[in-house]
């Protein structure tokens, strides 16, 4: 009888175990998976502490970007990591001079026009008719943002400053300093740093999703 008891306990607990697994599967897709948790927790951060991001971490984040899916693995991007405060200050000055009124230094926590990030990854790609290069860059950015989130860093993808800098003659030398190859154009910055704010999630419209039967 003693030998049978564990078996009975095991058999009785099986349905509960499977019910629990089913529940776990359902929840796992939303909560207990670290990648999915990072996706749900990530928000654009625009306030950062003064703490510098170590270069090894910045290198890892850039490598996460390079590991993004990209069309035919052509890796048509060039990547620059910036953690030099002088560079951010120069960008800010150039924008202030080239676009008067576009810089509000009295904003709380203002540090620079890259949304106050203490580091940034600048990504360039060529023009291509298919648009694939820009899609690649988008995927690159998302990998960086999610990796940053998982490491306790904040991130913000920024096209606005790029667009402004391209239209300001004063900023040309700063863009040139990034040293992108001929034919490659700066497309986006991903600002990075240790977050000094925890923004609420902005609403998402799930009605955009539907199954086709």
Nearer to ligand FMN, 46 or 111 (CB): 46
The DSSP symbol for 32 reads S
Q: How far is the CB of 180 from ligand FMN (least distance, A)?
A: 19
Cα(192)–Cα(82) distance, rounded to whole angstroms? 10
To ligand FMN, the closest distance from the beta carbon of 135 in angstroms equals 11
132-150 vs 55-66: helix crossing angle, rounded to 10: 140
How far apart are the two ends of the chain, measured CA to CA in Å? 54
Q: Which is nearer to ligand FMN, 126 or 160 (CB)?
A: 160
Task: Tell me the two tokens of residue 205.
Answer: 């419209």
Tell me the closest approach of the beta carbon of residue 209 to ligand FMN, in angstroms: 16
CA-to-CA distance for 48 and 29, rounded, in angstroms? 30
In the bound state with ligand FMN, the residue whose beta carbon lies nearer, of 44 and 150, is 44
Pick between residue 62 and residue 113 the one whose CB is nearest to ligand FMN.
113
Residue closer to ligand FMN by CB (options 125, 158) is 158
CB of 43 to ligand FMN, least distance (A): 4
Could you give the CA distance from residue 103 to residue 93 in angstroms, rounded to a whole number?
9
Residue nearest to ligand FMN (CB): 160
Distance between CA atoms of 125 and 136, rounded to whole angstroms? 9
Angle between helices 34-41 and 132-150 (to 10 degrees): 100
Nearer to ligand FMN, 136 or 213 (CB): 136
CB of 6 to ligand FMN, least distance (A): 50
Strands in 154-158's sheet, in edge-to-edge order, are 78-82, 119-126, 184-193, 154-158
Closest distance to ligand FMN from the beta carbon of 121 (Å): 14
The residues binding ligand FMN (CB under 6 A) are 43-44, 46, 115, 156-160, 199, 202
CA distance 135 to 128: 11
């Amino acid at each position: 009888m003693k030998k049978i008891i564990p078996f009975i306990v095991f058999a009785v607990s099986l349905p509960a175990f499977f019910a629990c697994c089913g529940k776990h599967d359902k929840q796992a897709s939303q909560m207990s998976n670290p990648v999915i948790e990072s996706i749900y927790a990530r928000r654009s951060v625009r306030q950062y502490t003064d703490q510098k991001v170590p270069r090894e971490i910045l290198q890892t984040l850039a490598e996460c970007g390079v590991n993004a899916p990209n069309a035919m693995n052509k890796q048509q991007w060039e990547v620059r990591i910036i953690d030099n405060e002088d560079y951010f200050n120069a960008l800010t000055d150039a924008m202030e001079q080239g676009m008067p009124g576009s810089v509000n230094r009295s904003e709380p926590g203002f540090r620079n026009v890259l949304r106050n990030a203490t580091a940034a990854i600048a990504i360039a790609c060529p023009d291509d008719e298919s648009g694939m290069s820009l899609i690649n860059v988008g995927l690159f950015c998302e990998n960086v943002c999610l990796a940053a989130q998982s490491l306790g860093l904040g991130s913000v993808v920024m096209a606005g400053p790029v667009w402004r800098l391209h239209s300001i003659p004063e900023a040309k030398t700063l863009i040139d300093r990034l040293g992108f190859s001929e034919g490659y154009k700066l497309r986006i910055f991903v600002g990075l740093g240790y977050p000094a704010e925890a923004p609420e999630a902005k609403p998402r419209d799930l009605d955009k999703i539907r199954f086709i039967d």
